[in-house]
Structure 1
Amino acid sequence: MRTNGINHLALVCRDMAETVRFYTEVLEMPLVKTVALPDGGQHFFFDCGGGSTVAFFWWPDAPPAAPGIAAVADFPARPKSAVGSMNHVAFHMEDEALEAAIGRLQAAGVKVSLPVVINHDDSEMGVAREPHPGVWIRSVYFQDPNGIMLEFAATLRGWRPDDVRHPPARAVQPAEA
């Protein structure tokens, strides 16, 4: 079986108008499809590039957000979320465009991760203060109006055979689905 990437990721928002404004005006992702659901809800799709979309459901009676359980509460301070949750969405971005994107987010009043740009490397901590030849991805993390953790990720190199070197961990008692 071979897929061709992500078609869309479907998330849930608290207010569709607020979400449309953020994704179209702040992130500059065109709204490409809207669906009115028979139960009174809505399902809207935004073009996030590369032939993929990020979509949102909205229902007037959706359960409340659950930061730290169904979503990340704060990154990088509290990065954990529950089994079966969505931790964050990372969007590809060229490294040269990262600084301008951060400026745009900050100008729109969006709180970004501290340090602002995170240099992911293969060190024990997994991050470096400054870029160096071992940094494989540079990222900035921020939340949308729904509390969904987002990332702009600039991949600096392709995958190599030595990038897969850790055995998968086993839970002492596997979580129930």
Structure 2
Amino acid sequence: MKIKGIHHIAIICSDYARSKTFYTETLGLSVIDEHYRAARDSYKLDLRAPDGVQVELFSFPDAPLRPSYPEARGLRHLAFAVEQIGDAIASLQARGVRVEPLRVDEYTGRRFCFFSDPDGLPIELYESPSGSDQDASAL
């Protein structure tokens, strides 16, 4: 088997409209497709990041909570590469998003920070001069 890359990341949200606004307007992901599945009382929104990686946003009634803090087993966070982290942080803060203090990756020297989506999913911004480095932090 030879993996070519990441195709998509799937996220289940508690409030579809709020999360759709966050991922499209706050983070700027573009909508590929959107479907309401009546049999599941569920939305599925396909989004695209500028590098082509897709994010699938799902809503399911009464989905259980998943612990994020303190660190829990499983997927730790979603990380997006940005060219100018200061500009990205300012954009988030202008939209009322609380951003954790800026940190420096001890191995690469690159700057990064964390914030959360509307359901508390940890999201990282990782500064990358090209905006799409593959060496993003695996913290």
Q: Give the TM-score taking structure 1 as reference length.
A: 0.67
Asked whether 1:143 is paired with 2:116, we answer: yes
Give the match's secondary structure for 1:25.
Answer: helix
Higher mean alpha-carbon deviation, 34-43 vs 50-59, is at 34-43
Counterpart residue number, 2:43: 42
Instruction: State the aligned residue count.
Output: 131
- Offset, 1:49: 2.0
- Offset, 1:158: 7.7
Q: Computing the radius of gyration over CA atoms, which structure comes out larger, 1 or 2?
A: 1
Asked whether 1:106 is paired with 2:93, we answer: yes
Q: Answer whether contact 1:92 1:154 (CA < 8 A) is retained.
A: yes
Structural RMSD (CA): 1.9
- Offset, 1:15: 0.8
Q: Answer whether contact 2:42 2:60 (CA < 8 A) is retained.
A: yes
- Structure 1: which 5+ residue stretches go unaligned? 123-133, 160-177
Q: Answer whether contact 1:20 1:31 (CA < 8 A) is retained.
A: no
Runs of 4+ in 1 over 6 A off after TM superposition: 156-159
Deviations 1:70-108 (A, max 9, x none): xx22xxxx4x112xx2210001212xx211110011111
**By percentage of residues, which structure has more strand?**
2
Give the match's secondary structure for 1:11.
Answer: strand
The residue correspondences of 1:31-70 to structure 2 (distance < 5 A) are 31-37=31-37, 38-63=39-64, 65-67=65-67
**How far apart in 2 are the matches of 1:103 and 1:56?**
25
Among 142, 146, 153, the alignment partner of 2:126 is: 153
Higher mean alpha-carbon deviation, 31-40 vs 85-94, is at 31-40
**How far apart in 2 are the matches of 1:102 and 1:46?**
21
Identity over aligned residues, as a percent?
30
The residue correspondences of 1:162-173 to structure 2 (distance < 5 A) are none
**How far apart in 2 are the matches of 1:48 and 1:143?**
17
Asked whether 1:86 is paired with 2:75, we answer: yes
